[in-house]
Structure 1
Amino acid sequence: MVYPVNIIEPITAGVDEVGRGALFGPVVAAAVILPELDDLPSPLACLCKGGEITDSKKLTKKRRSRLANEIQTIALDCKIGIASVREIDRLNILQASLLAMKRAVLKLKYTPNLVLVDGNQQIKDLSIPQKVIVKGDSKCLAIAAASIVAKVWRDTLIIRLAKKYPVYDLTNNTDLLAVENQLLSGYY
């Protein structure tokens, strides 16, 4: 495959998912291919080297949003994969998460030589070499970038769904247990 000038082989993609602990909505994964740090403009290279791009759970909402925009600007490629609520129910949350990751990786316009996967499970039926990294979103820049992009994308989706389902107060209910209690209260 012929790559743009700024892509140096081997190409590595980081992939992470969000929404596994959520009680509402799909699992969303992002796959991100970042350029070499030396190819980044200085301010962005400083963000990367300074540890600002890290696990999305460690960042404020405002910081995540800003970083997600910057990541998508500098990334050589960045794609989203989703596993629906029905798929979560049918497969289980782990398999649905891996499916969302696989979908994100397969959407990349450049086939990576290696996929760095957050967690301890490889993506099934993916013909690309993989390396799993436990807590990879805190240890690996590409996985952390994927974590941030996936989190912001899913949060945006939940805000849109909140307008469709106002009874659950999803925009103000960051306590997922409160959402679960609201959902269950309809059954009793």
Structure 2
Amino acid sequence: MLLNSFNKSGVECGTDEAGRGCLAGPVIAASVILPKKFKNTLLNDSKIVKTSNRNILKKIIEEEAISFGISHVFNKEIDKINILNASILGMHKAIFNMHLVPDHILVDGNRFKVYNNIPHLCVIKGDGKYLNIAAASILAKTYRDEFMNLIHEEFPMYNWKQNKGYPTKEHRAAIKKYGVTKYHRLSFKLLPDQLKLEL
């Protein structure tokens, strides 16, 4: 059973990101403040929730959350500042995009940087422990999937609709055959033999 929040008093948000290990596309982060008595038996870490249920939960979270924020950090920025910094930047931007300032931030994972002097707590596998982080993981994942489905139409040969930019054999084979796109992260190991690819 997931806990509603860590702090029993004050306004707490959960924050998480999706797309950290991908070869293409942005990192998308989300931040969510849930009502104190929010409960939903479907809600869990987005990685173990079925796609159909994730889409149901997205609607519920957006309708019932006290506040939520979404942010995108695109591949060129990821290449400049590295994926860890991009993930943290994304979470900071998602918190900024909420209409309410939290008193406390619950972060999925083990790394974060102080945001506006707001106390925070990093929780490893927090999306399977706290509802507000799980809600953020659902929003981050569903928004990112939608984005990858959209750019799939532009570059269907990479099958991003299916692999969402992750390093599948099919995705790497397409990079080897067609080269890279404007959405690929050039600082990542795109091919096992580290071929130098030109845009």
* Interval of TM-score (by shorter of Structure 1 and Structure 2): 0.7 to 0.9
Work out the CA distance in 2 between the residues paired with 1:126 and 1:148.
Answer: 25
Rounded to whole Å, the distance in 2 between the matches of 1:103 and 1:180 is: 31
| Amino acid paired to 1:120 | N
1:185 aligns with 2:177: yes
Which consecutive residues of structure 2, in runs of 5 or more, have no partner in the other structure? 1-7, 180-194
Query: In structure 2, the residue corresponding to 1:147 is in which secondary structure?
Result: helix
Q: What are the Cα deviations for residues 87-146 of structure 1, in whole angstroms up to 9, with x where unaligned?
A: 111111111000000000011111000010111112345421111111100011100000
1:74 is aligned, of 39, 46, 64, to: 64
Give the equivalent residue in structure 2 for 1:161: 151
Cα distance in structure 2, aligned partners of 1:92 and 1:12: 28
Q: Contact 2:114–2:120 (CA<8 Å) still a contact in 1?
A: no
The 3-state SS of whatever aligns with 2:72 is: strand
What is the rounded CA distance, in whole Å, between the counterparts of 2:172 and 2:82 in structure 1?
A: 18
| TM-score, length-scaled by structure 1 | 0.85
Percent identity over paired residues:
36
CA distance, structure 2, for counterparts of residue 54 and residue 161 of structure 1: 27
1:176 aligns with 2:167: yes
Distance in 1, matches of 2:116 and 2:79, equals: 22
- Does structure 1 residue 35 correspond to structure 2 residue 35? yes
CA RMSD of aligned residues (A): 1.8
Per the alignment, in what secondary structure is the counterpart of residue 15 of structure 1? Answer: strand
Tell me what 2:13 maps to.
Answer: 13
Partner SS for 2:144? helix
User: Which residue does the alignment assign to 2:4?
Assistant: none
Q: 2: distance between equivalents of 1:110 and 1:85?
A: 28
Distance 1:118 1:172 in 2: 25
Runs of 4+ in structure 1 off by over 2 angstroms are 123-127, 172-176, 184-188
CA 1:10/1:117 → structure 2, altered by over 3 Å: closer, same or farther? same
Unpaired runs of 5+ in structure 1?
1-7
Of residues 38, 55, 62, the one that matches 1:65 is 55
1:104-115 to structure 2, matched below 5 A, reads 104-115=94-105
Q: How big is the shift at 1:30?
A: 0.3
Is 1:101 aligned to residue 91 of structure 2? yes
TM-score, structure 2 as length reference: 0.80
Answer whether contact 2:33 2:68 (CA < 8 A) is retained. Answer: yes
Bigger drift between 152-161 and 167-176 goes to 167-176
Question: C-alpha separation between the residues in 1 aligned to 2:108 and 2:135?
Answer: 11
Aligned partner of 2:175: which letter?
Answer: L
Deviations 1:2-27 (A, max 9, x none): xxxxxx96100000000011111000
Structure 1 or 2: more helix by fraction = 1
Question: Partners in 2 of 1:176 and 1:83 — Cα distance?
Answer: 19
Query: SS of 1:128's equivalent?
Result: coil
